[in-house]
């Protein structure tokens, strides 16, 4: 997306941010494991999987190089299990899917956008703790 080369270590950046969110400081930031309950959507599948979904969908707009995005991944995994059947959780990689983010005004990541009945119901930008994320979701369900 940018121009020059950067020496960016996502785990270091994530740990730096975690000091401001005590709930995030215990996460395993080196693990890439993800729940089977989290759907990976693309520009091509976004309409069917998100906009035409039969229940609310929380979309995480993220990128591989984004430390805070990696930080919230395990939280999204936990939340996907806890809200299974009530809420779909989807992830859209902004670097691999460049058409969808501009349609929804994505300017920073991570951006969490809750869709209900094909419409954006609420948006949060930045890394959230689990309690912040569940409060955000609960306020919209």
**Residue with tokens 């998100």, as numbered in its chain:** 50
Helix (H, G, I), strand (E, B) or coil at 19: coil
Select which of 29, 66, 94, 112 is catalytic. Answer: 66
Separation CA 19–CA 86 (nearest Å):
32
30 pLDDT band (50/70/90 cuts)? very low
- Compute CA 14 distance to the chain's CA centroid, rounded to the nearest angstrom: 14
What is the reported pLDDT for 22?
Answer: 54
Each domain of the chain, given as residue ranges in start order, spans 10-138
Q: Which CATH number fits domain 10-138: 3.40.50.300, 3.40.30.10, 3.10.20.30, 3.40.50.970?
A: 3.40.30.10
19 flagged as catalytic: no
What is the reported pLDDT for 32?
Answer: 44
For the segment 89-121, what is each residue's pLDDT rounded down to a tens digit? 999 999 999 999 999 999 999 999 999 999 999
Beta strands in 1-141 (DSSP E): 38-40, 57-62, 88-93, 111-116, 119-125
Select which of 57, 69, 106, 127 is catalytic. Answer: 69
pTM of this structure: 0.76
The answer, yes or no, to whether residue 1 has pLDDT greater than 80, is no
């Amino acid at each position: 997306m940018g121009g020059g080369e950067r020496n960016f270590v996502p785990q270091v950046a994530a740990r730096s941010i975690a000091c401001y969110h005590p709930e995030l400081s215990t996460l395993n930031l080196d693990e890439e494991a993800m729940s089977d309950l989290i759907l990976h959507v693309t520009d091509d599948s976004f309409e069917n999987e998100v906009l035409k979904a039969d229940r609310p969908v929380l979309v995480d707009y993220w990128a591989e190089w984004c430390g805070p995005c990696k930080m919230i991944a395990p939280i999204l995994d936990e939340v996907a299990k806890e809200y299974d059947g009530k809420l779909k959780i989807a992830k859209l990689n902004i670097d691999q899917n460049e058409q969808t983010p501009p349609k929804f005004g994505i300017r920073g990541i991570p951006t969490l956008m809750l869709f209900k009945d094909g419409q954006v119901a609420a948006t949060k930008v930045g890394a959230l703790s689990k309690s912040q994320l569940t409060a955000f979701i609960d306020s919209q369900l």
